[in-house]
Amino acid sequence: QPQQQQLQDENQLRKEKAKRKKEKLSSLCKTPPSLIRTRAGKDYRRGLFLGEGGFARCFQIRDDSGAVFAAKTVAKASIKSDKTKTKLLSEIKIHKSMNHTNIVKFIDCFEDDANVYILLEICPNQSLMDLLKKRKVLTEPEVRFFMTQIIGGIKHMHTRRVIHRDLKLGNIFFDPDMNLKIGDFGLAAALKKDTDRKYTICGTPNYIAPEVLTGKTAGHSYEVDIWSIGVMIYALLIGKPPFQSKDVSLIYERIKKNDYAFPEDKPCSEAAKDLITSILTTDPLKRPNLDEILESEFFKGEFPARITTESLICAPDYR
Ligand code: ADP
C-alpha cells in the first residue's frame, strides 16, 4: 500500500536524521569546563555525567552554597538554525512557567561561550523506565501511587494550556524521596486557547496517539497526553508497551487499528483492564478526562502511604 510505503520511508528518514543529529551532537557537545562561570558572575562546579537525550547532555552541577542541580547542556554550535533556537526557547519558556511538586523544577538558565545551560532540580534515582527495566512489572498499588502523582503534574500543565506531547516512562524521574517528577518539555506545546489544535507529528513511537498519526488535517490536543497515560499504565503492569514491535511502522499500524491485547501470562485486575481499555480509545473525545481516570474503579484499590527506595530493587510487600 502506498500509505504504508510512505510511513516506512518517513520512518527510515527519521531514523537516519536522528542518527546524524546524535553524531553531530556528540561531536559538538564537549564536556563543559569543571568551573562554569555565568555571564552574571556566578560560579558552578560540574560533577558527574547524568545522561543524554536527542538534544542535550546532562551533568550534575554544584553552586557556591553546595546545592546540587542537574544542568541540561546544549552546545551553541547545535542551535544555529532559527528553528532549533525557537524550539529551545519555547522549551525554556514553557518549563519555566510550570510550578508543581510532580514536575521537575526549572531553576535557572544561563550560557557561556560554548553552551546553553538549563539548571533543573536534580532527580538522582533515575526514571520510571529504569525502574521497570529492573523490576519487569510493578504491583497495582505502586502503579496507583505513581500514576496519581503523574496525573497531578499533568493536571497542572493542562489547566495552564500546556500539552506535554512526550509523556513516557523515560521522561518521568524520581527525586531523592521517591516522588515522581515529569521532565523534558522539549516537545511541549502551549495553546493560546483551549480550542486550538496542533498539527506537528511528534512524540515517541510506542506512546503516540492515533490522532497524531492520522489527523494531519484535524490536528490533536490535550487527549494525546491522556493516551500516553493509558500506554504507561499498561507498560507498568504488563512489562512492555501495548503496541510494541521492533518495526516502527508496524507500531503505527497497530496504534491506528487499536491492535493490542492483555497477555494471559501477565494477569492484571479487571479494574485495570477496564481503565486501560477506556483510555486507549481511538476517538480522542471518548477518552476519560484526568478526573474520570482518578475516579475509576482501579484507583479505589489499595494505596500505599509512601514508596521507599526498596521499590527500586523488588516488589514491596503490602501485607
Ligand atoms: P533531551 O531533551 O535531549 O531528550 P532529556 O531532558 O531527556 O534530554 O535529558 C537527557 C538525560 O539526562 C535523561 O535521560 C536523564 O538521564 C538525564 N536527566 C535529565 N534531566 C535530569 C534531572 N533533572 N536529574 C537527573 N538527570 C536528568
pLDDT tens-place string over residues 195-238: 999 998 889 999 999 999 998 779 999 999 999 999 999 999 99
* Residue 283 annotated among the catalytic residues of the structure: no
Could you tell me the pTM of the whole model?
A: 0.89
Secondary structure (3-state) at 184: coil
What ipTM was predicted for this assembly? 0.95
pLDDT at 256: 96
Which residue's CA is the closest to the ligand 1 atom numbered 19?
A: 58
Which residue's CA is the closest to the ligand 1 atom numbered 8?
A: 53
Task: Please determine, for residue 130, whether its predicted confidence score (pLDDT) is greater than 60.
Answer: yes
Q: In angstroms, what is the span from residue 184 Cα to ligand 1's centroid?
A: 7
What is the spatial distance between Cα 99 and Cα 138, in angstroms, rounded to a whole number? Answer: 28
Q: In angstroms, what is the span from residue 58 Cα to ligand 1's centroid?
A: 6
Residue from 52, 55, 103 to probe ligand 1 pocket by mutation (most atoms less than 8 Å from CB): 52
What is the spatial distance between Cα 218 and Cα 197, in angstroms, rounded to a whole number? Answer: 8
What is the spatial distance between Cα 136 and Cα 129, in angstroms, rounded to a whole number? Answer: 10
Which residue of the set 9, 166, 175, 177 is catalytic? 166
pLDDT at 22: 66
Residue among 300, 294, 316 at smallest CA distance from 149: 294
For the CA of 58, the closest atom of ligand 1 is 12
Reported as a single tens digit per residue, the pLDDT across 56-84 is: 899 999 999 999 999 999 988 888 889 98
Reported as a single tens digit per residue, the pLDDT across 9-22 is: 777 777 777 777 66
36/288: higher pLDDT: 288
| Grid cell for residue 235 | 507498560
Query: Which residues, judged by CB distance below 6 Å to any ligand atom, belong to the binding site of ligand 1?
Result: 50-56, 58, 70, 72, 104, 120-123, 173, 183-184, 186
Cell 528518514 appears where?
Answer: 13
pLDDT at 152: 98
Task: Please determine, for residue 25, whether its predicted confidence score (pLDDT) is greater than 90.
Answer: no
